[in-house]
Structure 1
């Protein structure tokens, strides 16, 4: 999912606390000799007694992280010094960044990841997902576009580039395109064709462009009423189900 966007430039600074091994084990009152090193190569992180990271803008902090390996913790003095050193280092990095770019680019590059929300009517959800999610699997395999549900009728598309997003949306449009559905009047009587017969009822098609619906027969088997595939029966239309969309 897309992350939060900040208008000011952001930078991170990393520090490592280093103590004498004997002092780190024995000292419990927080008074100890120490060194704060800039973590550049990674070996300091492995050998150090605390890994400290600070990120933010010139005006403040957006994230802090500290991995303390000492049994008895660290003193407030070390914490405050680490934050101060982090602010100073962060300011240096931001100064270098400002020499290259002052503000975020207004236009995205063609290879930047992009995201977009699309609305899918509930009654078209089965066409969008495909049998067993087959459409979504093929969408990711062919274009790299991933789909995340937002709510009942909205989905978020995440693509590795704008080109991939355009290809993915074209595939989705083909799945969702359909013949224009007739606007049936609530309570009207219309003819429906039986497309499938089961013990519990029959599947009815009101129109080729509409999703077939089940007519449950709780008393008798459809064959007892002479109902067969291809027969047409008169039904009363009461609108779509608010949950399934059928």
Structure 2
């Protein structure tokens, strides 16, 4: 527990400090976190990160992750989606050229994993660089963290009915609802001092979306770890597991917010 607290304080302070700093340091941090998370998910699958399969995986993820100004889309006369689709075609061709040493199953895993991690961190980058990006990012982080804490404590003291035992045996319906209620309370309190939206109704809808999507993101990673029979995604953060363990909710929330035109 002591190690867990020390890690949380040091890593949390450094993370928040770089978010406030923004700019290149924040971009570099997102690149490093996404790269580590991709390495973690590759190891779950049994793909060595430093192999050619790992290299292809990182390339796919980086194309989705990095800001437009860092990738030569203009020079190549194509946008991010077109480049990604082109690489998918190449990737499918590799399954033939390699005589199934690189299988269709692995190709699908690479594509889905790169979308999951690359777009999640990409939209976190995009959100920070909005006009009121810092206030917006802190709002999302508070909602995700409060939901997680509220769900944990309500589940621990009030939980009786399992939420999804096949995926995460310890999570309860009471805990999930407690997390949502905590997010609404603290979210409205934050919005009182730092208004993100002009309408209270929009603010409440936003809070509910982030809280529910964050819990779903946590379940997605739980399903992933259960499928590959691992306890933690990695050991980068002593007492807390890997990067994917810490950012599973956030990287699921960000694409959802983009699709719903909040970013």
- Under TM normalisation by the shorter chain, which class is it? under 0.3
The structure with more helix, counted as a fraction of residues: 2
Report the TM-score, using the length of structure 1 for normalisation: 0.21
Report the TM-score, using the length of structure 2 for normalisation: 0.20
Larger Rg: 1
The structure with more strand, counted as a fraction of residues: 1
